[in-house]
Structure 1
Amino acid sequence: MKPVTQTILHGDPTGVPGNCLQAAVASLLDLPLDAVPHFILHDDWLERLAEFCMAHGYQPIMRMPDVPVAYGMAWGPSVRGVRHAVVWVDGEIAWDPHPSRAGLLKVTELIAFEPIGDGQ
């Protein structure tokens, strides 16, 4: 995991949504930010996210907050009052892509990044 900081924050004057998801995925896949799409700009962002991750060797799988996740993302409300994505490793926040590094108020969803192995 290579920490990447988001470059677009919630409330950006251009109206573009924040890119915490893009930065979290870049961090998890050890990619530069500009190599990862800004998924939420598209209505089918979840499908695009899945396709992108699978092309990079990981199957994203939605999990409930009480299911252990070794490597992936956590979602939940931030102190800024918006839904936010962070990097989740070994059951805890490993990286908050927001420059404040404030994390989440609580975890409401998890997305496990499961390696795609031979034979899958």
Structure 2
Amino acid sequence: MALITPFGKDGVAERMVSVAMEQFVAVTELMAELVRQIEAGEVPAPGDAKRTVAEYRATIRMAMEERQRLEDKLKTANGVVGGHALDFDAARDEIRRRLARLRAAGGGGEVSG
């Protein structure tokens, strides 16, 4: 039986998530620099600082929501529920092999399948 992970064999989905994560890290680093500037008093007016911090929080929230949507779409596209999906064809093959071994071991009679 094969276990299908959220990312397909081609790796495209995994690369997409990797790029999204890199962008998320870049935004976070830029915002950390902005916070440093605010703390150093380099932002001229308190109103600007408050607005900038609010925009930062909204941007981070939006990025996190987008990342979650991307992960959910990838899982749905790959038939993943609860983190993993089963390859039912492989599971059927495995069951048939085991039944054949039981028949070969004797006494099993006829088994439908």
Superposition TM-score, scaled by structure 2 size: 0.22
Q: Which has the larger radius of gyration?
A: 2
- Structure having the higher helix fraction is 2
Q: Is the strand fraction higher in 1 or 2? A: 1
- Tell me which of the two structures has the higher relative contact order, counting C-alpha pairs closer than 8 angstroms and 6 or more residues apart: 2
